Chain A
Amino acid sequence: MTTDTPTPSGAPVDLPVRAADGAPFDIVQTYHDLLAQNRDLTKPVVAIKALISLLENTNSVTAHETMDVLQASADRLTNSVRNPVPLVAGTHLFLWFVRQMLRDEGGNFENVRRHLVDNGQVFAQRAIHARTGVAEHGFRVIKPGQTVMTHGSSRAVLGLIERAQQAIPGRFKVIYVRDHYNPKESERVVSRLRKLGIPTAPIDGASVLTAVKAAKPGVSAVFLGGEVITKGGGVISRVGAAQVAQIAHESSIPVFVCGEEHKFVAFMPWWNEIGFDQKLLDFGTEDAERPATDDPVEWVPHDYVHQLITERGLHLPNHVSTTIYQTYGSFDG
């Protein structure tokens, strides 16, 4: 690997073994390993980390070739998981970023690769930092004496609530809507909040409406997180989030979507079009075991979303489209 070949396509070095097919490097395995090692990283970021380690392990020479390898691996990675949307968000952003860098570097791929590999760690650090940024910008939304509602186990939302607890300890309450599909995780979140000293009331999804209407002095805000934030300011989140959002919207309670901006995705679903089929409905006439739908997600329409809280502050829901337009020069990424 020559580091200072000014013309990347000029030097016909012995063609290296591609990390594409049959190569020792397995992007899917790498992704799952990284995901297991870095529990505090989001899926898009882990996907990007996997692509960076792919760059470390390939020795393709030309930019074009490497872009092909990256693209193919990104496709393989997204196709390997059931819910591809978060991975699409990460890999799309990364590939775009590499292309931009290539353009800025005048096509010198070696520089780009070195830069990316050297900064891979920084990148992950930044992603974590972004999450604390969300908490920093959002914790003031919770004011003393208020009751807020949340659902799921978004790290951005929990970070925000914890930050609020530091600021106004014990002076606000949380209604936590338990996730029917992940009971253990819900228990974990509730006990974590209670350990921090936050008065927490867990409820079931079925009682959200009653809880919202009956709570005195009422729910002041709803915080939702999600895997990706879709164009328009909606969010793809655990099943249950949309009804919480709808009830809140209906009751004039502001719904805040919390998330880092690398979760933005140039994708605008409709209820049944979230990128993959989850087989939520199972019509049958026989008594049968309920099919284990693992970790179902749903789209929370942006109509229900009041504001976004990102590491760059509080924004209107159209911030996503605007950011995508500013980044990619088009609404379609």
Chain B
Amino acid sequence: MPDALLLVSLVGLPFAAALIAGLLPSASRNLAAGLAGGVSLVCLALVWAAYPTVSAGGVLRAEFAWMPTLGLNMVLRIDGFAWLFTGLISGIGALVVLYARYYMSAEDPVPRFFSFLLAFMGAMTGVVISGNLIQLAFFWELTSLFSFLLIGYWHHSAAARDGARMALTITATGGLALFGGVLVLGHIVGSYDLDVVLASGDLIREHPLYLVALVLVLLGALTKSAQFPFHFWLPHAMAAPTPVSAYLHSATLVKAGVFLMARLWPVLSGTDEWFLLVGGAGLITMLMAAYIAIFQNDLKGLLAYSTISHLGLITLLLGLNSELALVAAVFHIMNHAAFKASLFMAAGIIDHETGTRDIRRLSGLNRSMPFTARLALVAAAAMAGVPLLNGFLSKEMFFAEALTAETQMHGLLNILPFAAMLASAFAVAYSLRFIHGAFFGPDPVDLPRKPHEPETWMRFPVEILVLTCIVVGILPAATVGPFLAVAVQSVLGENVPYYSLAVWHGFNLPLLMSVVALALGVALYMLLATRLRRGLDWPPLFRGLEARRIFDRVMVFLSWRMARRLELIFGTRRLQPQLRLIVGAGIIAGAAAIWAGGIGPGNLGASPVDPVLALVWVVGAACAIGAAWQAKFHRLAALILLGGAGLVVCVTFVWFSAPDLALTQLTVEVVTTVLLLLGLRWLPKRLPDAKGVAGGVEGGTEVMTLGRRIRDLALAVGAGGGLAALSYAVMVRTPPDLLALDFLARAYSEGGGTNAVNVILVDFRGFDTLGEIFVVAAVALTTFALLRRFRPAADSVEVPEQQRDQGDGAAGAVMTGNGEWRPGSDWLLLPFTLTRLLFPVMLVVAVFLLLRGHDLAGGGFAAGMVVAIAIILQYMIGGTDWTEDRLRLRPPLWLGGGLLIAAGTGLGAWLFGRPFMTSYFAYAELPLIGQVPTASALIFDIGVFMLVVGATLLMLVALAHQSVRAHRAAPPREKPPAMARRDPAPVAAAAGEG
């Protein structure tokens, strides 16, 4: 099998399977478990297939271009060390899946569980076989994310949510630091490729930025491996389902930290800083966590602290700056994975079959579940370091290292052997507590469930793991010897020291230390046994130092108190100050640019003033100022003035040779005005005198208001003056050619159209237009969704006065069946007839505009607007009911169809092997009509057209319907009018208010 395929499937398969598992129905527990188990076994087979290469000292490597311009490639590589880890991940993964199949209750959404588990497996594999540091950091964060999801799987429980959040906060923050560290490393070395980095050890260690890189990388590694002072997230992660704990805390998540430290060991270690930081953290963690573990009353809590302690041991070994210690660390990583996974599973079995994990309530399970008891006993003995089990071997190596470690700081070294012995004694004590507390003593009383042996297959993974512990413990050299050698060699290269994996090394100091530690541990447990049985909430000496409480306090301070304070100082929830700041900042930025860069006179003289345009703009300016003046009390007037200003803009476009713009501006203007008119109906009445009186009573507010107005006026004048000066400065300079020339030159020859603007929109920059119409569609749908839930304010519900005037008793009005007045049938008769006549004409105009768009002014957008205007005109004059009786509009269909056509045209290019949105054109010769452009851009434009029709109608009709709805809902009469003829248009109602 080619390397690349193997490597990609190793990472990709779990992710793909996660996706599939996530889509399975939530009751399909067996199917999801089968999928997960199958994938882990396939991965295990793949790992095995890589063994021949790896054992020969080779490296499997695959490289894919990612951002070649930056020298970044996706690199997957497996050397011996990564191979060992992939083996642990997929091997223990398969066992955990089998275990989880029986552990998880059928009521839980199990496929989701397996989906997360698989994704986590993929992310973890990604971490260990990444050959690029940035890629490694990426997968690293993915493991944080998926472990968050796994820990919070039972999201109905607050403990699970809090635990998951805490784990994510700590490990993802660490991941961020790691990313920073990786960037520094890349900066030092000049490459992110792992192989290059690993070959530059001396360069890194002697670089001035070494300490920065080291601290950042260690922040990542130590948070992940739950080392002091970041250890506290791990016990809270025990809220996860037990299979998750067994997986995350034995072979995977927390091992990622020690994996990274070992991976970068050749380049980062060997300095005093490394010894102090890594060794110090490991030493403190190992002792402290082992001590706390003794006093845990929860089986999983005990295992959690024991995990922290063992990780501390591994970290300490890595910190000793000795090759032999590294060998011991790698060996212990494997051993710990085996016995800790089996112990977690055993704890899960006890929990599953008895309903509790509280050591104080459990007792004498040896009789009801003898087989599980034996298995747990062996695994716990391995954890305690009893001879003939795997834990003993690596512990012996650790003791030997503690005795022989060398560094300049001798003071620390003197306490090392004693610390090692003490931690080992603690380990014996908590292992004894686990076994003795749960399995020995009198029969348990009053357990939630009657204890019994679990299903055979649930116990099977534990059996495999315990068997491993025994076999490795008895025959280390023959079983794990080769694997360990391969792993160690890939880290150390030629510097692999001599080590012996024998069980018996003769009577020496490490053996003596083991014996002392065993004796000490047993004595300690016997001393504490009765007190522990009574139960302590928290270990003595550490009562005030619960890290979780400190963490909570910090989080509250950071995310609540400090955030609130900063918000009070720097933030506001009021819109006006925000806008003021933005406008002010804009003015200052513009002024600063002019002040810094200077601004000279342009190279073009001003062209002579045309009196007609000047007059037009006098009107335009008057309209704008009038609109600003009247917008508060005379909304209708302001709206009309706004329309006037819009028309002036439109005239300007025509004047300066932009027919397309004028056309679009005109149609948009009409639709905007209608929209705003429809909205007027729902705004509160505001009369000038009411405000005047209120202001007059309190003189202070008036002064404040006046001050605010002067300030706003200054801002407005500043912004207006600034933009005027800026546009003048721009206009008196020769515009740069930029792309214009290119577009002009190619519009016909390559786009097949003579209207360059349209060709740019539908062809050259068609992708932009596609994005734009998606925005329009999104806006229309949002509008529609918002209006479905629209509840008008209380004072807008009544039928407005103006509408009533036209109803009750007015000339020609008729009374409907339920006593409601409706305008008579001859109401607005003349416009009504005219609009009906205009309707087909407008549709023809629209089609005309659409078809000629590519060559002449027009295009899908303007055409769509014209259709929308034609239809809304019928609504305005004929009324909602009348129009909808005769026209079946399906705006959503138009909208969706338009999007599909436009996007489909773009995708169509793929069928011809061209890039997305490539267009095609030709001129077809039709009899009578002549040359007709048949560009694929036309189809695209038809999509735009349909979308614009759909979106505009959706918005307008949704808004117009509000009036009808409120109408019917408002008066509490018996029934809504079933036969309302020509419902008075909402616009007519709205227009009256102002």
A and B held together in a complex = no
Q: Which residues of A contact B (CB under 8 A)?
A: none
